[in-house]
Amino acid sequence: MATARTAMLVAILSAGLGAGAGGVWRMNTGQTTGQAVEPDGPRQAPPETLDAVLATAERAMLDSEPSKAAAVLEAAVADYPEDRVLWLALARTRTRLADGALAAHEAYEEALSLGSGMAEDEFEAGTAANRAGLPQRAIEHYRAAEAADPTDSRFPLYAAQVLMGLDRPDEARASLFRATQLDEHLAIAWGSLAELALRENRPGVSLQYLAKAREQQPRVTAWRVIEARARNRLNEPAEALAALEGVGDEDRLSLPVVRLYATSAAMLGKSEDAAARFLEAAQRHSTNGRVWLEAATWLERAGDNAGAIKAAMHASMLGEDRAREMVDRLKGPP
């Protein structure tokens, strides 16, 4: 029986941790999850009941009905509020619901309060907390996961990402170093260290960390973008452009890459190249008035007033208010 229950729980988890549609509610009770319930029966589900509940929830998940699965599990935890397996299944199912991260985290907290202490449960709870906008609680979960299993590099790595978002660089750096000690080939940890160094205006150190990241993931656009920013800080725009030229076709005209390319080209006095790349990006992002206005600005810097007017007029048609002023200025008095 235990093996069957475990397989069903794994099936629910394997359906994914993304967002789906639906809300948090309970069958047959009219009560919202989290209200105190005093069940008349046992507080843990008998094995045959647990099997039946998990099987029903699994079928609903396979039918792409996460709301139905959640409702089945919510009714079950109302009857058996101390069954950790049910709470974990509910938490994992709620992650499939639109705006379900907070409710998922609440279910994880219930499961953890029943004495799980398992690293993976804390890790999943941390991810739910972070998605729910509870970064400090996410860090606490990741730290608890790390304490339970200090050999898994994911736990300090995920904590570091949240700490970086909270602008706590010293703690983030310490966490990243722990991650790299556990897995020296963890490119994202080295890349994150490079980003931290760049934020602290240490471009040379940033490049040292980036070299380690690129050893593992030479084609990742993020590492090339960080390198280009660092090279520009070191007044090495030619090297910055070289880094950006290695960006793949799918990211070549993404706005962060194009803006950085234009800045680097301008540092070399190549405003025409900057304008040409921005015009190409505007054509790719054809309904983005701001990009057309930026293209117009670069065209003007390159001395192409006719092209700048055309791009600015296009931006104006797309609702960019400042573009009309630019057109009037470039055209001059009637």
Q: Which tens digits make up the pLDDT trace of 93-115?
A: 999 998 899 999 999 999 999 97
Is there a single domain that holds both residue 322 and residue 284? yes
How many domains is the chain partitioned into structurally?
A: 3
Is there a single domain that holds both residue 288 and residue 229? no
Instruction: Tell me what pLDDT residue 212 has.
Output: 96
Is there a single domain that holds both residue 210 and residue 183? yes
**300: closest CA among 327, 269, 268, 260?**
327
pTM for this structure?
0.80
**178: closest CA among 210, 139, 152, 204?**
152
Full domain range(s) for residue 76? 45-130
Is 10 contained in some domain? no
Instruction: Tell me what pLDDT residue 334 has.
Output: 66
CB atoms within 10 A of CB 273: 18
Is 152 contained in some domain? no
Is there a single domain that holds both residue 169 and residue 238? yes
Is 75 contained in some domain? yes
Is there a single domain that holds both residue 161 and residue 220? yes
First vs last C-alpha separation in the chain: 86
**161: closest CA among 119, 126, 212?**
126
Instruction: Tell me what pLDDT residue 47 has.
Output: 82
Alpha-carbon dihedral sign for residues 75, 101, 7, 3: negative
Is there a single domain that holds both residue 68 and residue 99? yes
Is there a single domain that holds both residue 72 and residue 106? yes
Is 255 contained in some domain? yes
Cβ-in-10-Å burial (0-12, 13-18, 19+) of 117 comes to exposed
Lowest mean pLDDT among 7-11, 78-82, 125-129, 314-318: 7-11
Angle between helices 84-94 and 101-113 (to 10 degrees): 160
Token pair recorded at residue 176:
């990243």
CB atoms within 10 A of CB 6: 12
Is there a single domain that holds both residue 215 and residue 257? no
Distances (CA, A) of 188 to 17, 217, 218, 322: 21, 9, 12, 39
pLDDT in tens, 18-60: 333 333 322 222 233 333 344 455 577 788 888 898 999 999 9
- For residues 47, 49, 55 and 56, what is the CA-based torsion angle, rounded to 10 degrees? -170
Q: Does the pLDDT value for residue 262 go beyond 80?
A: yes
Alpha-carbon dihedral sign for residues 218, 219, 222, 226: positive
Final residue before a domain boundary, out of 178, 211, 242: 242
pLDDT in tens, 148-205: 999 999 999 999 999 999 999 999 999 999 999 999 999 999 999 999 999 999 999 9
Final residue before a domain boundary, out of 86, 112, 130: 130
Token pair recorded at residue 85:
């397996």
Final residue before a domain boundary, out of 181, 211, 242: 242
Is there a single domain that holds both residue 201 and residue 273? no
Q: How far is it, in rounded angstroms, from Cα 135 to Cα 152?
A: 20
- Radius of gyration of the chain, Cα coordinates, nearest whole angstrom: 27
- For residues 270, 276, 282 and 285, what is the CA-based torsion angle, rounded to 10 degrees? -100
Is 33 contained in some domain? no
Is there a single domain that holds both residue 237 and residue 256? no
Token pair recorded at residue 15:
């359906």
Is 32 contained in some domain? no
Is 269 contained in some domain? yes
Q: Does the pLDDT value for residue 282 go beyond 80?
A: yes
Lowest mean pLDDT among 139-143, 244-248, 304-308: 244-248
Is there a single domain that holds both residue 162 and residue 203? yes
> Hey, is 307 helix, strand or coil?
helix
Is there a single domain that holds both residue 226 and residue 288? no
**CATH code assigned at 86:** 1.25.40.10
Contacts for 15 with CB less than 8 Å, ≥ 6 apart: 61, 62, 66, 96
**7: closest CA among 45, 55, 44?**
55
Is 259 contained in some domain? yes
